[in-house]
């Protein structure tokens, strides 16, 4: 029997904190649908493991020491919603930046098949893009 969906997703975030991207890629479905707002520096729509690997490369190209602090994890059937705070140092400016986010996951038979990130654009994106007032 596979792990409960919320536990699968917690393991994904734990792997991210360890910097273990290969573990994340091994966990997600080969044909995963991965969507991150286009106006985040690492955003885009990614389909499949290889493309998600490029997503993580994009994070490394834009952020230093990026962290995802989980605030809440709620599961209902195959859907898992994660409320979190994402923060790190932007390479473009060298400044600390962060934003709040909601992540929606679909987990089928213990395997994440869809990830969608939602952010509060007016409040989050200037900081994440390195824009200061």
Query: Which tens digits make up the pLDDT trace of 11-48?
Result: 999 999 999 999 999 999 999 999 999 888 888 999 99
What distance in Å separates the CA atoms of residue 63 and residue 97, rounded to the nearest whole number?
A: 9
| Residue in the structure block whose two tokens are 């991210």 | 16
Note the pTM of the prediction, 2 decimals: 0.89
pLDDT score recorded for residue 38: 86
Annotated domain spans of the chain: 5-128
Residue 126: pLDDT band with limits 50, 70, 90: low
Instruction: Provide the pLDDT confidence category of residue 106 given band limits of 50, 70 and 90.
Output: very high
Domain with residues 5-128, CATH architecture: Roll (3.10)
pLDDT at 123 over 60: no
Q: State the residue for tokens 């286009």.
A: 38
Taking Cα atoms as reference points, which of 4, 11, 24, 1 lies closest to residue 76?
A: 4
């Amino acid at each position: 029997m596979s792990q409960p969906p919320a536990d699968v997703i917690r393991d994904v975030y734990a792997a991210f904190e360890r910097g273990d991207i290969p573990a994340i890629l091994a966990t997600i479905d080969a044909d995963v649908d991965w969507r991150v707002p286009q106006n985040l520096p690492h955003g885009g729509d990614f389909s499949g493991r290889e493309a998600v690997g490029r997503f993580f490369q994009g994070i490394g190209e834009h952020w230093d020491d990026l962290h995802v602090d989980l605030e809440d994890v709620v599961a209902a059937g195959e859907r898992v919603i994660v409320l979190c705070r994402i923060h790190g140092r932007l390479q473009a400016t060298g400044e600390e930046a962060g934003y709040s986010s909601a992540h929606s996951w679909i987990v089928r038979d213990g395997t994440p098949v869809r990830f969608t990130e939602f952010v509060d654009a007016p409040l989050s994106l200037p900081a994440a893009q390195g824009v200061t007032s």
